[in-house]
Each structure stands twice: as C-alpha cells, then as structure tokens.
Amino acid sequence: MEAAAEPGNLAGVRHIILVLSGKGGVGKSTISTELALALRHAGKKVGILDVDLCGPSIPRMLGAQGRAVHQCDRGWAPVFLDREQSISLMSVGFLLEKPDEAVVWRGPKKNALIKQFVSDVAWGELDYLVVDTPPGTSDEHMATIEALRPYQPLGALVVTTPQAVSVGDVRRELTFCRKTGLRVMGIVENMSGFTCPHCTECTSVFSRGGGEELAQLAGVPFLGSVPLDPALLRTLEEGHDFIQEFPGSPAFAALTSIAQKILDATPACLP
C-alpha cells in the first residue's frame, strides 16, 4: 500500500514483464535480453531490471560491462545503452568492484537490494520494464513480486527447454504464479532445436514440443519456440545486437514473433 500511495520512479512505466523459469540453464537471461531488444526495435522504450543477483549476466550480453551507475535527484540513474536512451539497464553487476566478484549475501540483504532497485531506480518513461529473475521460486521472487505488486505488473513470461525435466520444473513455476496471483502471459520454449549456420536447417537436439504441450495443459498461451543459433550465442558473448545484425536467422523470426505477440496481447492484459 505504501508503494501504491507513492508510485515514484515506476510511475512512468506502462507495463512490467517478469521473466521466470523453474530451473537454471534454460536461457532466461537470453530471452530477457532479446525480448527487450525486439521490443526496442518495434519502437518501444524498454528498461531491463536484472534481479538475478548471484548471476548478473545481462550487462555482458548487452555490452555494458564496466559501466557505472550514477546518482541523480530521484535516486539511481540506470545505464543507458544508446544515445536515444531507448533501452536502459540496472543490474547488481554494475555495483560489484570486480566482474568475477561473488555476491555472498543472505536473504534479507538480497531482498533489501531488490526493493531498493524497485523504488530507487529513475526509469523515467518506459513502455516496458523487463525483469530478469533468478531461477526457481526463492525469496528473491517473493521480494520482487511483493515490491512490484502495487504497480500491477503486466504478468509473467515463463521460459522452459523441451526436456521433460525442465518442463516438470516449469509446471511448478506455473503453480507459483497461481499461488501469488501473477498473471501468466505465456510460455516460451528455448533451445528448441539447433540451427545449422550453413544451411539454416533446424535439427532437434533434445526433444521438441514440451513447452507447447505444457501450455495447452495449463491453459496459458504458447508464445513460440526459439532454436539454438550460433549467431545468437556469439552476439550474446560479444555484447552485440542480434536482432539488428541477423534478420535472416530462424531465431530472429522466433524472437520477433514472441515480441509481437506480447505487443498484441498488451491491451487485453491491462487490469
């Protein structure tokens, strides 16, 4: 109620998307990064809040390692990635003295930083704020949802891979969303096949269709399948913009389709 009475730095944010996964290693930060870039190329102003405190990889994925966070009259100014300030980022990675420094914090300190990120980062006017969360259903998730709940988040995008083990963990993530009253926008199946860099043919490496089947069983939208693509992996390692550089890739088509579905669904998802 206190945050609702004082909307503060989130007052200019129109929609908030939490990116969740039931387990680690499914490419949740990849989806968060590429979704933000796809929305930006669709003409939207986007922010990324990285609350994966123990594994803050998004600064590297966006080529922003080593950038500094500055104070402003409204709190912390996020790191802007372009001159137009169309995409901005806040991550604990900017607060570490060294890139390989470990975040060895107990729950209360993590939760306090998440609440500070929510209240003190001066995002300005944003169409979308994409929140990259750690894997699982931990204290950090509860702290994030409780801090954002007064602002009525748009909902959750849940990431899985095709394997049965991952799909089983994501099923528990969907249960978590229901218990916390968080609207599920849809499921994305990542690493859905491997795209050959020579002929662009997509071959199933693990299995296929687990995410879509889960979406049907859970009664939530299936937003799409994203294949493994060497070009995507390379741009993430180098901090380049995959959406801009590889428009002919099957992964590009999948990611921009997912972004378009979110754009199309936005009006219907407003409270």
Q: Which residues are annotated as a binding site for [4Fe-4S] cluster?
A: 196, 199
Supply angle C-alpha 215, 219, 221, rounded to 5.
Answer: 55
Angle (deg, nearest 10), helices 230-238 and 28-41: 90
- Give the integer Cα–Cα distance in Å for 140 and 137: 8
- Give the integer Cα–Cα distance in Å for 83 and 216: 42
- The DSSP symbol for 181 reads T
- Give the integer Cα–Cα distance in Å for 59 and 79: 9
Angle (deg, nearest 10), helices 164-180 and 210-218: 30
Annotated binding site for ATP: 22-29
- Which helix H or strand E contains 259, and what residues bound it? helix 250-269
Here the tokens at position 237 are: 């390692």
Q: Do the strands 222-228 and 155-160 form a parallel or antiparallel pair, or are they unpaired? A: unpaired
Annotated binding site: 22-29, 196, 199
- Give the integer Cα–Cα distance in Å for 88 and 105: 26
- Which amino acid belongs to residue 83? R
